Amino acid sequence: MSVDTLYEAVFAHGGPWTEDEYFALPETPARIELVDGMLVVSPLSSVPHHRLVYELTHLLRTTCPDGRWEALPGGNVRLWQDHIRIPDVVVARSGLDVLYVDADDVLLLAEVTSPGNFRQDRIVKHTDYAEAGIAFYLRVDLHDGVGEVRASAFELVDGSYREYATAPDGVLRLERPWPLEADLRALARGH
């Protein structure tokens, strides 16, 4: 579908969007999320962002010791009715064959921040993911550039996220949900 046709379909639509209408939209390279009946459109990110998402997905996939979980690059995650997010990395139950992953089938979500989405990932999505009951949230901060990559890992405790690990130097060391260590700055550079 052309950009013009998609543009027409979106702007000709009246009122809030439903999940059925959202999933009837054609595939597009833009990231379009459904947030409480509204469409939120984000442009594609930088090459280091894509590289880091790819490498982080690979890292989570290869280090996960439990075959019941698999790491996927992005995908539709249904947090609740009419609220579909597309995180950068999803660790979900293995083998799902669905249009979207329900929050109940997610162990961990990861977001890589860019200058244009930093506030969304740090505040809005952070709160949404906690409200949906996602057990672990990893935020990798790339918005200050490859040489300044940092990360924070959060665990859901009593309905709110508590930070349990940080990587101020770009080296991520986690014990939960499973042990792993990675130099995020090197991954963002493709090393």
**Number of alpha helices (DSSP H) and beta strands (DSSP E) in the chain:** 6, 13
Q: Are residues 154 and 104 in the same domain?
A: yes
Residue pLDDT, tens place only, 153-165: 999 999 999 999 9
State which residues form the domain around 66: 47-189
Collapsed DSSP state (helix, strand, coil) of residue 44: coil
Q: Consecutive sets of 10 residues in the chain, 191 residues long: mean pLDDT of each? A: 63 82 81 86 83 95 96 94 94 95 97 76 84 97 89 96 95 96 93 81
Q: Are residues 123 and 183 in the same domain?
A: yes
Q: Are residues 37 and 57 in the same domain?
A: no
Residue 160 falls in which region: left (phi positive, over 0), alpha (psi -120 to 50) or beta: beta
pLDDT, residue 4, reads: 66
Q: Are residues 18 and 72 in the same domain?
A: no
Q: Where are the alpha helices (DSSP H) in the chain?
A: 3-12, 19-24, 47-63, 118-119, 125-131, 184-189
pLDDT, residue 191, reads: 81
